């Protein structure tokens, strides 16, 4: 039996993986909606916890929304590889002639589309509840748009490392949350810096730099971790 | 040349390293004890009282070495983890996992002594400043490494998975450090640098002695711990049965 030649380029394979992930995600509507509801619930708990004083809420809003978004994005990370691991399609991906790093990149991108983009769209609604003005809402959305793909990419490393491990959920948060700190700092800092008259350009540049760095490096780490988990 | 290279690689075998570590660790432990005694004696009895901080500054004789070691051990751990991944050597992963608890201990000690110093000097046990926060995050990274290692049953797989994590962490440590630094800073500048020191010379001597003492302690305890890990992992082999008997 001769092996069939690999007629698909890496780009079309990545696109196919991306389409498959998005299709699977959209069929399981709960998987997309649950983190989103979680995001709203967490953000709504803060005013109940610290009091509804408008000045306080206004100052806290970027940080609260960012922390909530971070936790919500983490909630869906575990499933990034778990179902494919369970039904064996992950092994096929590892064996495929397309570099594993590129497939992982497509999966992380799909995670961003399914968990990051809804958070970006939901954030201004919650921001209004905290009394942010339209300029701050715009900056918040921009930083989330730049930051959530980084969260998906870094998170994919943790998801791959904890694949098939006891207590994976809690472990994943312990491994990944410390690595999320720079994104949180620059994401939440942008709104505050702009309100203080410092401009948000620097923060946005740093968030973009983090995105580029994680785009380049995290697929390697994730692919290595997947190979270790599957051996 | 060739012979000396093979000679050194001999110790990549857990069996040979077990015996080497057994010979070495008492020396490092003895040095650590002696230097620690000298350093603390200088720190408590020889070094003068600080003009601004009074007696309270004396905690730096423990605090500064502990902070340095906590950062340095992470890099050493990540380096061994990387070597283990690249060359698939068994011993490297064992050394990395032997270093992790010591690094975590030093990070914790650094935070604890920092808090004890901060209360009289800053009036607060904890301040959200760059160095405190990044040491706390470093402690989390150590805990994550150990938790991941502990949750995977197969020790070889655990070594390699946590090696990936250690390398990812090592890349992130500077990013985290600078992001936290730009976020907020209140900590005083570094007292010791390559250009010179703003400290009295006896204080500096005491601190450097303590730094060396902590180095010796870290090496001794890591060798001791790696011996136990080797025994545990190789318990099915003949040589371990002879070594323990």
Q: Do B140 and A177 touch (CB under 8 A)?
A: yes
Q: Residue B87: is its pLDDT beyond 70?
A: yes
Q: Residue A151: is its pLDDT beyond 90?
A: yes
Q: Mutation target for B interface from A81, A100, A178: give the one with most B CBs within 10 A.
A: A178
Query: How sure is the predictor about B199, in pLDDT bands with cuts at 50, 70 and 90?
Result: low
Q: Residue B193: is its pLDDT beyond 70?
A: no
Q: Where are the domains of chain A?
A: 20-230
Query: How sure is the predictor about B184, in pLDDT bands with cuts at 50, 70 and 90?
Result: low
Q: Residue B190: is its pLDDT beyond 60?
A: no
Query: How sure is the predictor about A31, in pLDDT bands with cuts at 50, 70 and 90?
Result: confident
Cα A97 to Cα A8, A50, A92, A200, B225: the distances in Å are 10, 54, 10, 43, 43
Q: pLDDT at position B11, please?
A: 78
Which member of A161, A167, A178 has the closest CB to residue B141? A178
Q: pLDDT at position B179, please?
A: 79
Q: Residue B115: is its pLDDT beyond 90?
A: no
Q: What average pLDDT does the segment A191-208 reach?
A: 84
Q: How many angstroms separate the CA atoms of A193 and B196, rounded? A: 36
Q: How many angstroms separate the CA atoms of B81 and B100, rounded? A: 11
Q: Where are the domains of chain B?
A: 25-233
CA A153 to chain centre: 7
Q: Which residues of A touch B180 (CB under 8 A)?
A: 181, 185
Q: pLDDT at position B197, please?
A: 54
Residues in chain B: 245
The winner for highest mean pLDDT among A109-118, A186-195, B128-137 is: A109-118
Q: pLDDT at position B167, please?
A: 92
Q: pLDDT at position B50, please?
A: 72
Q: What average pLDDT does the segment B227-238 reach?
A: 87
- List B197's β-bridge partners, or say none: B192
Smallest CA–CA separation between A84 and chain B, in Å? 19
A107 and A21 Cβ atoms separated by less than 8 Å: yes
| pTM for this predicted structure | 0.86
In the three-class reduction of DSSP (H, G, I as helix; E, B as strand; rest coil), residue B54 is classed as: strand
| pLDDT (tens digit per residue) in A33-72 | 888 999 999 999 988 888 878 888 888 888 899 999 999 9
Q: Residue B191: is its pLDDT beyond 70?
A: no
Q: What average pLDDT does the segment A199-228 reach?
A: 91
Q: Do B183 and A189 touch (CB under 8 A)?
A: yes
Q: Which residues of A touch B182 (CB under 8 A)?
A: 185
pLDDT averaged over every residue in chain B = 83
Q: Which residues of A touch B143 (CB under 8 A)?
A: 174
Q: Residue B162: is its pLDDT beyond 80?
A: yes
Q: pLDDT at position B5, please?
A: 59
A181 and B174 Cβ atoms separated by less than 8 Å: no
State which residue of chain A sits closest to B162, comparing Cα positions: A161
A53, with CB counted inside 10 A (0-12, 13-18, 19+), is exposed
Q: What average pLDDT does the segment B138-152 reach?
A: 92
Q: Residue A6: is its pLDDT beyond 60?
A: no
First to last CA, chain B: 38
Query: How sure is the predictor about B194, in pLDDT bands with cuts at 50, 70 and 90?
Result: very low
């Amino acid at each position: 039996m001769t092996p069939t030649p690999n007629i698909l380029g890496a780009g079309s394979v990545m696109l196919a993986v991306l389409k498959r992930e998005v299709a699977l995600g959209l069929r399981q509507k709960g998987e997309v909606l649950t983190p989103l509801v979680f995001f709203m619930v967490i953000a709504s708990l803060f005013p109940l916890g610290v009091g509804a004083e408008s000045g306080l809420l206004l100052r806290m809003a970027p940080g609260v929304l960012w922390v909530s978004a971070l936790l919500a994005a983490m909630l869906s990370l575990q499933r990034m590889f778990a179902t494919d691991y369970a039904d064996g399609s992950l092994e096929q991906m590892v064996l495929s002639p397309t570099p594993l790093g590129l497939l992982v990149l497509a999966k992380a991108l799909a995670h961003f589309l399914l968990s990051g983009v809804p958070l970006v769209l939901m954030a201004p609604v919650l921001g209004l509840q905290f009394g942010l003005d339209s300029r701050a809402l715009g900056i918040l959305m921009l930083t989330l748009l730049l930051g959530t793909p980084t969260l998906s990419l870094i998170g994919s490393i943790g998801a791959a490392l904890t694949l098939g491990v006891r207590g994976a959920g809690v472990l994943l948060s312990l491994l990944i949350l410390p690595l999320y700190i720079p994104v949180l700092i620059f994401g939440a800092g942008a709104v505050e810096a702009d309100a203080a008259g410092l401009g948000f350009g620097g923060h946005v540049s740093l968030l973009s730099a983090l995105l580029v760095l994680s785009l380049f490096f995290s697929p390697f780490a994730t692919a290595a971790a997947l190979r270790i988990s599957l051996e | 040349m060739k012979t000396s290279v093979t000679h050194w690689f001999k110790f990549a075998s857990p069996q040979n390293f077990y015996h080497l570590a057994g010979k070495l660790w008492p020396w490092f432990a003895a040095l650590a004890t002696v230097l620690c005694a000298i350093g603390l004696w200088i720190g408590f009895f020889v070094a003068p009282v600080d003009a601004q901080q009074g007696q309270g500054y004396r905690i730096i004789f423990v605090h500064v070495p502990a902070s340095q070691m906590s950062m340095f051990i992470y890099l050493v751990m990540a380096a061994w983890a990387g070597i283990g991944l690249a060359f698939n050597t068994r011993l490297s992963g064992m050394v990395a996992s032997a270093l992790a608890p010591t690094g975590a201990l030093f990070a914790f000690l650094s935070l604890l002594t920092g808090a004890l110093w901060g209360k009289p000097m800053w009036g607060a046990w904890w301040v959200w400043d760059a160095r405190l926060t990044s040491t706390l995050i470093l402690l989390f990274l150590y805990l994550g490494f150990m938790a991941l290692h502990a949750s995977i049953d197969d020790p070889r797989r655990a070594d390699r998975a946590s090696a990936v994590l250690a390398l990812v962490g090592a890349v992130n440590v500077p990013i985290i450090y600078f992001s936290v630094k730009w976020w907020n800073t209140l900590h005083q500048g570094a007292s010791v640098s390559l250009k010179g020191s703003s400290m009295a010379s006896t204080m500096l001597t005491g601190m450097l002695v303590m730094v060396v003492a902590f180095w010796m302690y870290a090496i001794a305890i890591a060798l001791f711990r790696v011996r136990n890990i080797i025994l545990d992992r190789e318990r099915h082999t003949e040589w371990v049965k002879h070594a323990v008997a």
